[in-house]
Amino acid sequence: MRRAGLFGVPRVRPWSWQAFLLGFATVAVSATLQGICVALGAQLWFAAFLPSIFVVGIVAGAPAAAVAALLTIPLVWWAFMPPFFEFSPLTTVYADSIKLFFLLAVLLIGLADLCRETMAIVSRGGMRPTGEGAATNPQ
């Protein structure tokens, strides 16, 4: 792991086994937290998984976050949507929840990737000018 200078966020190289292991671990921790929420009566099936996907996207990159999001969908369908611990046909409410989660996950992964690249640029000392452009034309 290397540090991203200014922000102190540990970063893992994308496409490495550590990145995917971090994705699996955060899905497991989120599933435990979601299980507690369901036991308390909450029916927000994907609530605990969205922040973890964003964190995985920042720390480990977009590929690991995408795998974590794709792993989350069948896990929630199987474990948290009634009837519990079996795959049943999706109702329109469940299908809409899955589609909304997928949309939010794609947006969060994109935002996390932008944040990750911004941290890399800032830790390198900012953007450097590449030469004369239209804004620096002396005419």
The residue extents of the domains of the chain are 2-126
Q: Is the pLDDT of residue 131 over 50?
A: yes
CA distances from 61 to 2, 16, 105 (A): 13, 10, 13
Query: What would the pLDDT profile of 28-63 be if each residue is shown by its tens digit?
Result: 999 999 999 989 988 888 999 999 999 999 999 999
Please list, in sequence order, all residues whose beta carbon lies within 8 angstroms of the beta carbon of residue 15, skipping any fewer than 6 positions away. Answer: 61, 63
Model pTM score: 0.82
Query: Is 134 within 8 Å of 18 (Cβ atoms)?
Result: no
Mean pLDDT on 100-119: 95
Residue 4: what pLDDT?
46
Mean pLDDT on 128-138: 61
Q: Which of 49, 45, 12, 9 is nearest to 29 (CA)?
A: 49
In sequence order, the β-bridge partners of residue 10 are: 3
Residue 119: what pLDDT?
86
What SS3 state is found at 54?
helix
